[in-house]
Amino acid sequence: AQSVTQPDIHITVSEGASLELRCNYSYGATPYLFWYVQSPGQGLQLLLKYFSGDTLVQGIKGFEAEFKRSQSSFNLRKPSVHWSDAAEYFCAVVHNNAGNMLTFGGGTRLMVKP
Amino acid sequence: EAGVAQSPRYKIIEKRQSVAFWCNPISGHATLYWYQQILGQGPKLLIQFQNNGVVDDSQLPKDRFSAERLKGVDSTLKIQPAKLEDSAVYLCASSLISYNEQFFGPGTRLTVL
Protein backbone atom coordinates (compact mmCIF):
# COMPACT_ATOMS: atom_id res chain seq x y z
CA ALA A 1 0.00 0.00 0.00
CA GLN A 2 1.15 3.47 -0.78
CA SER A 3 2.25 5.53 2.23
CA VAL A 4 3.94 8.75 3.24
CA THR A 5 6.32 8.78 6.20
CA GLN A 6 7.54 11.77 8.15
CA PRO A 7 10.02 10.23 10.60
CA ASP A 8 10.30 13.24 12.90
CA ILE A 9 7.19 13.96 14.96
CA HIS A 10 8.71 17.00 16.68
CA ILE A 11 11.67 19.18 15.77
CA THR A 12 13.02 22.16 17.70
CA VAL A 13 15.44 24.61 16.11
CA SER A 14 16.81 27.97 17.15
CA GLU A 15 15.72 31.05 15.29
CA GLY A 16 18.15 31.72 12.45
CA ALA A 17 19.27 28.11 12.22
CA SER A 18 18.75 25.96 9.16
CA LEU A 19 15.93 23.45 8.91
CA GLU A 20 15.35 20.15 7.15
CA LEU A 21 12.13 18.15 7.48
CA ARG A 22 12.19 14.64 6.13
CA CYS A 23 9.58 12.94 3.97
CA ASN A 24 9.69 9.48 2.41
CA TYR A 25 7.04 7.88 0.25
CA SER A 26 6.29 4.36 -0.82
CA TYR A 27 4.89 4.46 -4.31
CA GLY A 28 5.61 2.65 -7.56
CA ALA A 29 5.59 5.50 -10.04
CA THR A 30 6.87 9.06 -9.72
CA PRO A 31 4.16 10.74 -7.72
CA TYR A 32 3.09 14.33 -7.43
CA LEU A 33 4.56 15.67 -4.18
CA PHE A 34 3.44 18.50 -1.93
CA TRP A 35 4.36 20.21 1.32
CA TYR A 36 1.64 21.93 3.32
CA VAL A 37 1.90 24.00 6.51
CA GLN A 38 -0.75 24.23 9.21
CA SER A 39 -0.47 27.03 11.75
CA PRO A 40 -2.51 26.87 14.98
CA GLY A 41 -6.17 27.48 14.22
CA GLN A 42 -5.45 27.90 10.54
CA GLY A 43 -6.23 25.85 7.49
CA LEU A 44 -3.57 24.03 5.52
CA GLN A 45 -1.55 26.18 3.15
CA LEU A 46 0.50 24.91 0.23
CA LEU A 47 4.24 25.67 0.52
CA LEU A 48 5.42 24.01 -2.69
CA LYS A 49 4.80 21.16 -5.10
CA TYR A 50 6.72 18.91 -7.47
CA PHE A 51 5.26 17.35 -10.59
CA SER A 52 8.26 16.92 -12.90
CA GLY A 53 11.39 18.64 -14.17
CA ASP A 54 13.95 20.31 -11.92
CA THR A 55 14.17 18.25 -8.76
CA LEU A 56 14.83 21.30 -6.57
CA VAL A 57 11.66 23.33 -6.18
CA GLN A 58 11.20 26.70 -4.58
CA GLY A 59 8.18 27.59 -2.54
CA ILE A 60 6.72 30.41 -0.53
CA LYS A 61 8.16 31.85 2.70
CA GLY A 62 11.73 30.92 1.67
CA PHE A 63 11.17 27.15 1.67
CA GLU A 64 12.57 24.70 -0.86
CA ALA A 65 12.39 20.95 -1.32
CA GLU A 66 14.41 18.41 -3.25
CA PHE A 67 12.99 15.32 -4.91
CA LYS A 68 15.39 12.35 -4.81
CA ARG A 69 13.99 9.42 -6.76
CA SER A 70 16.72 7.00 -5.62
CA GLN A 71 15.82 7.66 -1.97
CA SER A 72 12.05 8.09 -2.48
CA SER A 73 12.39 11.31 -0.55
CA PHE A 74 11.11 14.86 -0.77
CA ASN A 75 12.74 16.75 2.09
CA LEU A 76 11.80 20.31 2.96
CA ARG A 77 14.51 22.86 3.77
CA LYS A 78 14.90 26.44 4.86
CA PRO A 79 18.30 28.13 5.36
CA SER A 80 17.25 30.40 8.22
CA VAL A 81 14.17 29.76 10.36
CA HIS A 82 12.00 32.59 11.71
CA TRP A 83 9.87 32.38 14.85
CA SER A 84 6.76 32.63 12.66
CA ASP A 85 7.68 29.30 11.01
CA ALA A 86 6.56 27.42 14.12
CA ALA A 87 3.73 25.21 12.85
CA GLU A 88 2.88 21.69 11.74
CA TYR A 89 4.25 20.60 8.38
CA PHE A 90 2.70 17.90 6.24
CA CYS A 91 4.17 16.08 3.27
CA ALA A 92 1.57 14.73 0.84
CA VAL A 93 1.50 12.58 -2.26
CA VAL A 94 -1.03 12.30 -5.05
CA HIS A 95 -1.85 8.81 -6.22
CA ASN A 96 -2.17 8.78 -9.98
CA ASN A 97 -5.07 6.39 -9.87
CA ALA A 98 -8.76 7.10 -10.22
CA GLY A 99 -9.52 10.35 -8.47
CA ASN A 100 -5.91 11.36 -7.82
CA MET A 101 -6.30 10.90 -4.06
CA LEU A 102 -4.00 12.99 -1.85
CA THR A 103 -2.35 11.05 0.98
CA PHE A 104 -0.78 12.93 3.87
CA GLY A 105 2.07 11.98 6.15
CA GLY A 106 1.63 12.16 9.90
CA GLY A 107 3.15 15.60 10.15
CA THR A 108 6.16 17.20 11.85
CA ARG A 109 5.61 19.81 14.53
CA LEU A 110 8.25 22.53 14.36
CA MET A 111 9.09 24.59 17.41
CA VAL A 112 11.41 27.60 17.16
CA LYS A 113 13.53 28.71 20.11
CA PRO A 114 14.33 32.42 20.42
CA GLU B 1 -10.67 35.87 -4.15
CA ALA B 2 -12.68 34.37 -1.30
CA GLY B 3 -11.31 31.18 0.21
CA VAL B 4 -13.04 27.96 1.19
CA ALA B 5 -15.73 28.65 3.77
CA GLN B 6 -16.80 26.19 6.44
CA SER B 7 -19.35 26.30 9.22
CA PRO B 8 -19.67 25.87 12.06
CA ARG B 9 -16.11 26.32 13.33
CA TYR B 10 -16.76 24.37 16.51
CA LYS B 11 -19.38 21.83 17.52
CA ILE B 12 -19.85 19.84 20.71
CA ILE B 13 -22.38 17.01 20.76
CA GLU B 14 -23.10 13.88 22.74
CA LYS B 15 -22.56 10.43 21.30
CA ARG B 16 -25.45 9.08 19.23
CA GLN B 17 -26.49 12.61 18.25
CA SER B 18 -26.38 13.86 14.67
CA VAL B 19 -24.29 16.69 13.26
CA ALA B 20 -23.85 18.37 9.90
CA PHE B 21 -21.03 20.46 8.47
CA TRP B 22 -21.25 22.84 5.56
CA CYS B 23 -18.62 23.82 3.01
CA ASN B 24 -18.60 26.41 0.23
CA PRO B 25 -15.62 25.96 -2.10
CA ILE B 26 -13.76 28.57 -4.09
CA SER B 27 -15.85 29.74 -7.02
CA GLY B 28 -15.17 27.72 -10.15
CA HIS B 29 -13.47 24.82 -8.39
CA ALA B 30 -14.98 21.63 -9.69
CA THR B 31 -13.34 19.28 -7.21
CA LEU B 32 -14.32 19.26 -3.54
CA TYR B 33 -12.88 17.14 -0.75
CA TRP B 34 -13.77 16.32 2.84
CA TYR B 35 -10.99 15.23 5.19
CA GLN B 36 -10.97 14.02 8.77
CA GLN B 37 -7.98 15.10 10.88
CA ILE B 38 -7.66 13.36 14.22
CA LEU B 39 -5.44 15.11 16.77
CA GLY B 40 -1.78 14.36 16.11
CA GLN B 41 -2.38 12.86 12.66
CA GLY B 42 -2.39 14.01 9.08
CA PRO B 43 -5.69 14.62 7.28
CA LYS B 44 -7.42 11.54 5.88
CA LEU B 45 -9.61 11.82 2.81
CA LEU B 46 -13.22 10.87 3.43
CA ILE B 47 -14.82 11.74 0.11
CA GLN B 48 -14.00 13.52 -3.14
CA PHE B 49 -16.53 15.11 -5.49
CA GLN B 50 -16.06 16.14 -9.09
CA ASN B 51 -18.86 18.63 -9.72
CA ASN B 52 -21.81 16.86 -8.07
CA GLY B 53 -20.57 13.31 -8.63
CA VAL B 54 -18.60 11.18 -6.16
CA VAL B 55 -15.10 10.25 -7.38
CA ASP B 56 -13.81 8.47 -4.29
CA ASP B 57 -15.58 7.59 -1.03
CA SER B 58 -13.63 4.45 -0.19
CA GLN B 59 -12.64 5.75 3.26
CA LEU B 60 -16.04 7.13 4.23
CA PRO B 61 -17.74 5.10 7.01
CA LYS B 62 -20.97 4.84 5.10
CA ASP B 63 -22.94 3.33 7.98
CA ARG B 64 -22.85 6.68 9.75
CA PHE B 65 -21.33 9.29 7.43
CA SER B 66 -22.99 10.79 4.38
CA ALA B 67 -22.12 13.68 2.10
CA GLU B 68 -23.74 15.45 -0.77
CA ARG B 69 -22.87 18.21 -3.18
CA LEU B 70 -26.06 19.40 -4.74
CA LYS B 71 -25.73 21.52 -7.88
CA GLY B 72 -21.96 20.98 -7.85
CA VAL B 73 -21.21 23.92 -5.57
CA ASP B 74 -21.47 23.76 -1.78
CA SER B 75 -21.46 20.53 0.16
CA THR B 76 -22.73 19.04 3.41
CA LEU B 77 -21.13 16.26 5.46
CA LYS B 78 -23.35 14.52 8.02
CA ILE B 79 -22.63 12.11 10.84
CA GLN B 80 -25.55 10.12 12.22
CA PRO B 81 -25.16 8.81 14.90
CA ALA B 82 -21.87 10.19 16.18
CA LYS B 83 -19.37 8.09 18.13
CA LEU B 84 -16.64 9.20 20.51
CA GLU B 85 -13.98 8.36 17.92
CA ASP B 86 -15.48 10.87 15.49
CA SER B 87 -13.95 13.69 17.54
CA ALA B 88 -11.67 15.42 15.04
CA VAL B 89 -11.28 18.43 12.80
CA TYR B 90 -13.23 18.10 9.56
CA LEU B 91 -11.53 19.92 6.71
CA CYS B 92 -13.04 20.87 3.40
CA ALA B 93 -10.84 21.62 0.41
CA SER B 94 -11.36 22.46 -3.24
CA SER B 95 -9.22 22.49 -6.35
CA LEU B 96 -9.48 23.55 -9.96
CA ILE B 97 -7.96 20.31 -11.21
CA SER B 98 -8.13 17.10 -9.18
CA TYR B 99 -4.39 16.44 -8.96
CA ASN B 100 -3.27 20.01 -8.39
CA GLU B 101 -3.13 22.35 -5.41
CA GLN B 102 -5.96 21.97 -2.95
CA PHE B 103 -7.18 25.01 -1.02
CA PHE B 104 -8.32 24.24 2.49
CA GLY B 105 -10.94 25.83 4.68
CA PRO B 106 -10.35 26.55 8.38
CA GLY B 107 -12.06 23.34 9.45
CA THR B 108 -14.77 22.38 11.92
CA ARG B 109 -13.59 21.04 15.26
CA LEU B 110 -16.03 18.36 16.45
CA THR B 111 -16.03 17.10 20.03
CA VAL B 112 -18.20 14.09 20.83
CA LEU B 113 -18.85 13.57 24.54
At B25-44, the pLDDT tens digits run: 999 999 999 999 999 899 99
Mean pLDDT of the A4-21 span: 96
Closest chain B residue by Cα to residue A100: B99
What is the pLDDT, as a whole number, of residue A1? 64
Q: How many helices (H) and strands (E) does chain B have?
A: 0, 11
Phi, psi of B104 (to 5 degrees): -100, 145
pLDDT 10s digits, A47-72: 999 988 899 999 999 999 999 999 99
CB pairs under 8 A between A and B: 54
Closest Cβ–Cβ partner in A45, A94, A99 for B56:
A99
| pLDDT computed for residue B23 by the predictor | 97
In this model, does residue A98 exceed pLDDT 70? no
Query: Which chain A residues have a beta carbon less than 8 Å from that of B107?
Result: 43
B25 touches chain A (CB under 8 A): no
Chain B neighbors of A36, CB-CB under 8 A: 104
Question: How many Cβ atoms are within 10 Å of B28's Cβ, its own excluded?
Answer: 9
State how far the Cα of B3 lies from the Cα of B95, in Å rounded to an integer: 11
Q: Which residues of A touch B106 (CB under 8 A)?
A: 41-43
Does B99 or A18 have the greater pLDDT score?
A18
Q: Nearest residue on chain B to A90, judged by CA atoms?
A: B42
